[in-house]
Amino acid sequence: MITHKRTLLAALVSISLFGCGEKATQTNAAPAPTAADAKAFLTQAQNDIEKMQVPAAHAEWSYATNINFDTAAVSAYFNEVLSTKVANLAKEAAKFNDVDVDVDTRRQLNLLKNGLTMPPPSDPVKAERLAKIGSDLSAMYGAGEYCREDGTCKSLVEMSGEMATVRDADLLLEYWKGWREVSKPMAPLYAEQVSLANEGAAELGFANVSELWRGKYDMTAEAFPKELDRLWSQVEPFYEALHCHVRAELGEHYGEDVVPQDKPIPAHLLGNMWAQSWGNIYDIVKPQQEMTVPDVTAALNAQGYDEIAMVKQAESFFSSLGFEELPETFWERSMFQKPEGRDVQCHASAWDLDDKDDLRIKMCIQKTGEEFNVIHHELGHNYYQRAYKNQPLLYRGSANDGFHEAIGDTIALSITPKYLKEIGLIDTIPDASNDIGMLMQVALDKIAFIPFGLMVDQWRWKVLSGEVTPEQYNDLWWELREKYQGVMPPVERSADAFDPGAKYHVPANVPYTRYFLAHILQFQFHKALCDIAGDEGPLNRCSIYGSEEAGKALNEMLEMGMSQPWQNALETLTGSPEMDASTIAAYFAPLKAWLDEQNATRQCGW
């Protein structure tokens, strides 16, 4: 899923943007703050932030690219300082909640106030405890492993690698259960964390952390979940068709005693530890007819591409749209390969260390077609970062948190056979009869993910609001997974299992709705850009490569950053302020017709 999510840098940068002044900015102690006070506060806050965000970013980069005792200590120090400053500035911003200010000032105040993920209480003992719990949960996940009866221990990476290719249901179940032992001890800590963070949220004027999270999207906290369900209803029929086919093929492969055809799919059989994307079981569910699918990995190797050449080719995609080339420092300072003799974070990520031009990517690039796509995706983040660099500091970010991921994925959607032929990686474009296989591969990764991307925060919002008790955490998790995904635990789960903690983003407190939004928006962006580029073919065959008109339209949206509600940014590119998942149906139309044929005699649903 590397193309669906970014590193924690995204969260860290949001912290550095919102809270690293050398001392907490104080407003005048006047009994009634004024609009002028609010403006002065924002000016001072942004000046303070400017002083600290660059060294903080360098500390995090140093740790990510050279993990050792010293870089860890410096990075941890900045994390602690920044989280404290976020809290101080957010609470200062909250003092202006009832002050009559202009729209722009209110937007900046809200960005400061909403900049926290788990807001610490004012009580320093409680704040320290909250920070300690966050650190402990991350450490428990990071150090997690499963040790088998023969004494051999498996890391998550090792188990995930095997689950992608192993077709032994018993071994898959063993790994699935084994990894979830890691999260079981997290449950009491997580419940305590929720309680403490809700105290901090109340001090900011929110009912709870759930309201804070749901209120970051230029609409009311009550309206936002309804908007997500509306979007899901547009995707659901196609997802159900994909689910029906996949369940039938898994039933044929493993036997219907293992995969009942009238129940949700057992979660350990979908090629992924969390059943969040299904691309690894393509070999089981693919169409049976002979198909010609471009082998990009073989083409890269045959033509002698190395890691730098792959990045240079991705840069040329953006240059063909009219974007300025990347700065020389990008090539000097990025990490393209895993260095010898030191530990690094290989997870692909895009960085902007100075909020201006110090753009970088961090990857341990493999010379594969998948990594070729990832590089295009990551550069999408970099070009977005550079586009909004001239905005005021508080507006340097994506219109909402789904936009950043969506831009990278939108670019990756243009890596079609048409594009591959134009850059000389393939000689001929396979005819449309081959599209079913390629669309199936995309759907197994992207469409299969959408309900998972939706339900993670559906669970968290109920937990963070106190709507469910800790004893109900695990039951709610599986209720939502069955409702949205049609997957079920392969064995009965106890109430104290805390299976949500087996997914990194839960103990790390990384909001997840951004990934759901990105999977909707990328297809909407792709269609708008293809229309602007004048491509009249099927949407799944379109590439905007070489269209300066499309590049200009894209850049106009990117330059807005966070300066206006995301609805305005969306309308700038698509002509509509509403998110619309109907473009997914258009993109996958040939596959949907094929799935309907396959499912004609099957019992679908769960």
- Catalytic (active-site) positions: 378, 505
By CB atoms closer than 10 A (0-12, 13-18, 19+), residue 406 is buried
Query: 483: how many CB neighbours lie within 10 A of its CB?
Result: 13
* Residue 526 three-state SS: helix
Residue matched to tokens 């056979």: 417
Contact between residue 562 and residue 216 where contact means Cβ atoms under 8 Å apart: no
265: enclosing H helix or E strand:
strand 265-266
CB under 8 A, 24+ apart: contacts of 464-468: 464/194, 464/197, 464/198, 464/208, 464/209, 464/210, 464/213, 465/207, 465/208, 465/209, 465/210, 465/211, 466/194, 466/198, 466/208
Query: 402: how many CB neighbours lie within 10 A of its CB?
Result: 23
DSSP assignment of 113-131: HT--SSPPPSSHHHHHHHH
How far apart, in Å, are the Cα atoms of 54 and each of 16, 78, 390, 406, 515? Answer: 8, 11, 16, 26, 27
* CA distance between the termini of the chain: 26
Tokens standing for residue 314: 């991705």
Query: 427: how many CB neighbours lie within 10 A of its CB?
Result: 9
The span from the CA of 478 to the CA of 484, in Å, is 10
Interior/surface letters 499-536, b for 16+ CB within 10 angstroms, e for the rest: bbbbbbbbbebbbbbbbbbbbbbbbbbbbbbbbbbebe
The span from the CA of 561 to the CA of 557, in Å, is 8
The span from the CA of 572 to the CA of 564, in Å, is 11
Contact between residue 52 and residue 16 where contact means Cβ atoms under 8 Å apart: yes
DSSP 8-state symbol, 276: S
Tokens standing for residue 528: 């708008």
How far apart, in Å, are the Cα atoms of 287 and each of 239, 438, 520, 594, 599? Answer: 17, 10, 25, 9, 13
Please provide residue 578's backbone torsions phi and psi, each rounded to the nearest 5 degrees: -105, 135
